[in-house]
Amino acid sequence: RIICIILIGGCLLQLFSLREQMISRVGIGFGGDAAANWRLVRKIPDDAGVVATFRFLPALSLREHLYSFHKIISRPVPGERLMRERYFDVPSNSRSLAREWYALIDHEDGWIRSQSREDAAYIKGKIAGFLLGWEEVGSEGSVKLYKWKGRGR
């Protein structure tokens, strides 16, 4: 019995000491201010469609209409148009599938930063074009929550 108690105590102590690494690896922590980011995620209705940057995809993964922001703003690669038409419903073509649409975008996302270093004008233009018709409804640092208002595009 004592050995079991010592083992369980040791496991709990180890779990407690590594909690930050574990939280970020399973997509719960988001890095930075996790509580603030969760507040933004919780503002999105369960039945809404969502476009999100990478760090939010795990937390939103059970939604029926979830799209990775990088697929919308990246340059197409050969054969990708056919793949997108076959396997992905890009929100601009399928807004009627969900009652409401939200975009949860970390403007300091690593992928966005790396693409901006390679082709700043293109990425900046794609992001600006995407945001036409969206209204900011929440913000936590570099993370912005937008709601589709239906104009533009």
* Residues 108-117: contacts with CB under 8 Å, at least 24 apart: 108/141, 108/142, 109/53, 109/54, 109/55, 109/69, 110/54, 111/53, 111/54, 111/70, 112/53, 112/70, 112/73, 115/73, 115/74
pLDDT by residue (tens digit) across 104-152? Answer: 999 988 888 888 888 889 889 989 988 988 999 999 988 999 999 875 4
pLDDT tops 80 at residue 8: yes
Pairing of strands 66-68, 101-106: unpaired
pLDDT by residue (tens digit) across 24-82? Answer: 444 444 556 778 888 999 999 998 989 999 889 988 988 888 888 988 888 776 665 65
β-bridge mates for residue 102, sequence order: 50, 147
pTM of this prediction exceeds 0.75:
no
- Tokens 């929440």 appear where? 138
